[in-house]
Amino acid sequence: MDAKKDFPCLNQKMNGLSPVYLDSACMSLKPQCVIDKMIEYYAQYSGCGGRSAHKFSFRTTDEVTKARENIAVFIGAKKPEQVIFTKNTTESINLVAKSFKFKPTDIVLTTDKEHNSNLVPWMLMDKSNAVKHKTIASKQDGSFDIELFKEMMEKEKNIKMVALNHVSNIDGYKNPIKDIVEIAHDNNAVVLLDGAQSVPHTKIDVERMDIDFLAFSGHKMCGPTGTGVLYGKEELLNELNPFIVGGDTVETVDGDRITFLGIPEKFEAGLQDYAGIIGFGEAARYLSNIGIEKIEKYVNDLNIYLDEKMKSIENVKIIGPADPKKRSGITNAIIDNINSHEIAMYLDEVKNVMVRDGAHCVHSWYNKTKTRASLRASLYLYNDKSDIDAYVDGLKEYIGLVKQENNFAN
Ligand SMILES: Cc1ncc(COP(=O)(O)O)c(C=O)c1O
């Protein structure tokens, strides 16, 4: 894979060194074609979409339509209108939480490994008695307990929605979605899939996978910041109440009567982030052109290399599946006697190596399992072996310095 050249952030020197970016599970970098597409909007036709009768507005509308089509094709949606633009995965999940017609006795089931974005909305709704929230515990090794799930679904008749991540941002573990969807549907529950970590890395076909709702972010898949999508089955989207309302969501207002537009408009209130949406569409086109299967294989192979190198360091524990091909480009580690934040700061300051430390917005899981803050390297198509060498060399160097200091202190 020769993608590095496409990403201007990586083709610069900082303190004489190239940047090494290993934080793509948080946010991906943007290729030149996405940046160009956004500049083109601002420089050539920065009108509003869908409203005014002039050339800039027509072009904006056309480009937004194309972006919606590109993204619909990318995830295998039947119709582009099933792609609702939002700010990010978080907003997409909140849209479902606030708009789905729950009864107070309905239950939303999540796993115990959810990002706060797919946990806090349900916790708050539970606290206000809008719905009940329950959690299914993972197995000891962090994998999904399908037997327990089946048992819960069959016993607990009020589970209306199963809202879970496809790929965990803690350890890259991929939940067995085919089986989960089948069991959920057999028990009259809908599935809201948090695809923040999966859509950028693996082939998603919402039709074939029979997914009811899918939330994901553009900024994790080479798209602009502040862009996301909620996909939904048409009949379910039609049933949802709009969440944020106002301009562009209504067909007309007459006296006290409001007639809302259909999908996607009823969910996209106010003037939109046109540059962002158009850039997001370009990102989907860019990834499609390379091929998501090719990217997945490349990232998995690179994670094998990273895993082998990490194992050459003493006292490293890697969270999640032992097989690096099953971690979706994530290698999240705890190193004995090493503070994850301090080592992350060292790597950044001295080596230009950018990783993420902490609880990765999954505080509930870190607290429940009494796991301390970890150091996560996450790979994408623009990384190569030289990035991993720089990371692991930096880790070894820092660990050596800490050992030296401890020897002095003793
Ligand atoms: C699994 C998962 N879900 C949800 C989110 C939230 O994404 P965003 O911040 O783009 O809304 C993230 C972000 O890291 C994530 O990894």
Which residues in the chain land under pLDDT 70? Answer: 410
Distance (angstroms) between ligand 1 centre and the Cα of 98 equals 18
- Residue 330 is part of which domain span? 4-22+291-409
Q: Look at residue 238 and tell me if it is in a domain.
A: yes
Domain total of the chain: 2
Residue with the nearest Cα to atom 15 of ligand 1? 196
- The reported pLDDT for the residue numbered 410 is 66
- The reported pLDDT for the residue numbered 179 is 98
Q: Name the pairing type of β-strands 330-335 and 374-378.
A: antiparallel
In this structure, the answer to whether residues 337 and 253 fall within a common structural domain is no
From residue 261, give the alpha-carbon distance in Å to each of 53, 232, 241, 266, 282.
19, 17, 11, 5, 27
Candidate from 26, 115, 170 with most ligand 1 atoms within 8 A of CB, to mutate: 115
CATH number, domain containing residue 325 = 3.90.1150.10
Q: Single out the residue in 236, 261, 289 at which a domain terminates.
A: 289
DSSP run (H or E) holding 43: helix 32-44
Q: Look at residue 27 and tell me if it is in a domain.
A: no
Distance (angstroms) between ligand 1 centre and the Cα of 249 equals 26
Q: Single out the residue in 259, 289, 319 at which a domain terminates.
A: 289
Q: What is the DSSP string of 326-361?
A: GTTTEEEEEETT--HHHHHHHHHHHH-EE-EEE-TT
CATH number, domain containing residue 60 = 3.40.640.10
Residue with the nearest Cα to atom 14 of ligand 1? 26
In this structure, the answer to whether residues 62 and 165 fall within a common structural domain is yes
In this structure, the answer to whether residues 295 and 280 fall within a common structural domain is no
In this structure, the answer to whether residues 76 and 159 fall within a common structural domain is yes
The number of angstroms, rounded, from the C-alpha of 206 to the middle of its chain's C-alpha atoms is 16
In this structure, the answer to whether residues 339 and 279 fall within a common structural domain is no
Candidate from 120, 198, 199, 217 with most ligand 1 atoms within 8 A of CB, to mutate: 217
From residue 26, give the alpha-carbon distance in Å to each of 14, 120, 169, 219, 360.
21, 18, 9, 9, 9
